[in-house]
Chain A
Amino acid sequence: MTEKPAEKTEVKLEIGRFGKFLQDNGIKSKRQSDSNNVETIVIDAKDLEPAMRLLKTSSETTLNFLLCVSGVDYADKIDSVYHLWSYEHNDALVIKVELPKNNMTNTQTPCMSSISNFWPAANWHERETYDLVGIRYLKHPYLRRILNPWDWEGHPLRRDYKQLIDALNDKNPHSFR
């Protein structure tokens, strides 16, 4: 846990277009600093499902292209990041859901709700994020490991993951790093 991403300076950012749209529909969001002029907002885990439904179907936004769902493991929290684009126009939005990590071990998983019930594109991405980063998506239709074998232990992309050393993998695992 020695590496830490650079601390973001707390500057009060103006509410963006999609943040305003969500606020009008009663969903709170917090703006983060943009990356490459793409609006980045942080919303609560419980608001994610209605917010996604709105953004996907509303004629005002039509962000109907879910690029990917990624999990990012920080020192004190785990982020679930959603990159949204549209097939019709050039808008883009990044949604982050922050899940606090209260001294969680590698085998424990934080929970949040799944969006794959109404958005099939998220299905495999959520399974992958569960597999590698260990975010448990509740109400997911088939939340099983997708890339690793089903009886794998731990979540490899967590920072505290200790990799298995056995007959198949016993050369110095840190030789190249």
Chain B
Amino acid sequence: MATELTTTNLKTDEMIINMGPQHPATHGVLRLILKLDGEIVRHVEPVIGHLHRAQEWQGQNRTLFQYQALIDRVDYLSGMFTSLAFAHACEQIDGCEVPPRAQYLRALVCEMNRISSHLLWLGTFLIDLGALFGFPFYPFREREKLLDLFEEIAGQRMMFNYIRIGGVIRDPKPTWFEKVRKFTQEFPDRIDEYEAIVTQNPIVLKRTKDVGILDKQVAFDYGVSGPSLRGSGVNYDLRKVRPYGIYPDLNFDVPLGQNKGDTWDRYMCRILEMRQSNELIKQCLDKMPEGEILGKKQIAGLRIKAGEGFSAIESPRGVLGCYVISNGSDKAYRIKWRNPSFCNLAVLPSLLIGRPISDIMAIFGSIDVILPDVDR
């Protein structure tokens, strides 16, 4: 009889595998250098910067008015949020007042954008898990509706340039609000539809339960924020803990992960957040006041006062910060972005080590990283 092949006498060697930058599941151009022992990941080195478009350099070389159009591209899935962070920072420095109607409109479009961003995440996450074509049609169907609504107020499907320093640029027609209300009425049913397919699906459960458990302390150490952090049960949502805009007036709960911070919890957190945003949109529509929408004149030579401002808002991916140093001219002296994806991606190696290679995409998809947000 031949010698029995057991795990004890089987000699394995470490293997280095390069993943990306062209890979269908990395949501762009991330490169991972993996050191594998058989199926198990032993070491990960993310290589980023393949989409480094020099946003910060553009910020200090273009006028503020020009730069407002560029910042939607920092995080293209949630352009409203990047505009909002920049506008907040400039308003802090300048001290200009934002009219209440603009505040409500901002919150309204931001929550709509949060839904559209999470919908795209849902589709791509399922693609990452292997549901290649089929399921993603469902979330994209609703996303198209949202994009049509955005197009009506901003003129573009994704790059809105809608939120400006001092307010918002266009006042939507009354019929637009009716369309939004119609969307909010039918959207909860749609989420039920997704959940019926995904939430208790045995394959999804097998792929996501107990996979990629993010410990609270690790999350704190790496500065993780957003649904990835809340999936671990930490109640940290800037809309609650450091409220900005009109969020103190709105009534909502922050959805938290119930389990222990695994991939499924992060998935569930985002699903609940979509429901929550839908409620917030309804509240905004009900409370929408009349009045002005722009507190600062939008001219090509837009200037703000000299000084420093740091603003942070809760984007779909986490704490999105913008640090602006102005010297009173029409260009900013320095603009620094604190991107949630950049900080959340740093925690990826500690989640992957010790997991089999098939879990990489499940974990990576669940922390919802957008590569231009990482590379800027």
Q: Do chains A and B touch in the complex (CB under 8 A)?
A: yes
- A interface residues with partner B (beta carbon < 8 Å): 3-6, 35-36, 38, 40, 64-68, 70, 72-73, 81, 83, 87, 90, 94, 119-121, 123-124, 128, 132, 145-149, 156-157, 176-177
Residues of B227-279 contacting chain A, CB below 8 A? 234, 236, 241-242
Contact present for A120 and B336 (CB under 8 Å):
no
Residues of B contacting A35 with CB < 8 Å? 92-93, 307-310
- Could you say which of B56, B61, B62, B323 contacts A83, with CB atoms under 8 Å apart? B323
Could you list 11 further interchain pairs (A-B, Cβ under 8 angstroms) beyond the known A6-B306, A66-B223, A147-B48? A35-B310, A36-B310, A65-B223, A72-B334, A87-B220, A87-B234, A90-B241, A120-B222, A121-B222, A128-B342, A157-B334
Residues of B320-345 contacting chain A, CB below 8 A? 321, 323, 325, 327-329, 331, 333-334, 336, 338, 342-343
CB nearest neighbor in A for B308: A35
The CA of A156 and the CA of B310, in the complex, are separated in Å by 22
Contact present for B220 and A148 (CB under 8 Å):
no
The CA of A81 and the CA of B308, in the complex, are separated in Å by 12
- Could you say which of A64, A67, A70, A145 contacts B312, with CB atoms under 8 Å apart? A67
Q: Does B75 contact A (CB under 8 A)?
A: no
Residues of A contacting B142 with CB < 8 Å? none
Q: How far is the CB of A164 from chain B (nearest CB, A)?
A: 12
Residues of B contacting A64 with CB < 8 Å? 220
Q: Does B221 contact A (CB under 8 A)?
A: yes
CB nearest neighbor in A for B306: A6
26 residue pairs bridging A and B, Cβ less than 8 Å apart: A3-B327, A5-B327, A35-B307, A36-B92, A36-B310, A65-B223, A66-B223, A67-B321, A68-B321, A70-B334, A72-B325, A73-B334, A81-B323, A83-B323, A83-B338, A87-B220, A87-B236, A119-B221, A120-B222, A121-B221, A128-B342, A132-B56, A147-B52, A156-B57, A176-B66, A177-B61
Q: What 7 A-B pairs come out closest when comparing CB atoms?
A: A121-B223, A147-B49, A6-B306, A68-B338, A70-B336, A5-B327, A147-B52
Q: Does B159 contact A (CB under 8 A)?
A: no
The CA of A32 and the CA of B343, in the complex, are separated in Å by 28
Q: Does B5 contact A (CB under 8 A)?
A: no
Q: Does B41 contact A (CB under 8 A)?
A: no
Interface of B is mostly: mixed
Residues of B29-80 contacting chain A, CB below 8 A? 48-49, 52, 54, 56-57, 60-62, 66
Interface size counted on chain B using CB atoms at 8 A = 43
The CA of A3 and the CA of B333, in the complex, are separated in Å by 8
Residues of A contacting B376 with CB < 8 Å? 147
Q: Does B346 contact A (CB under 8 A)?
A: yes
CB nearest neighbor in A for B376: A147
The CA of A148 and the CA of B49, in the complex, are separated in Å by 6
Contact present for B327 and A156 (CB under 8 Å):
no
Contact present for B375 and A147 (CB under 8 Å):
yes
Q: Does B319 contact A (CB under 8 A)?
A: yes
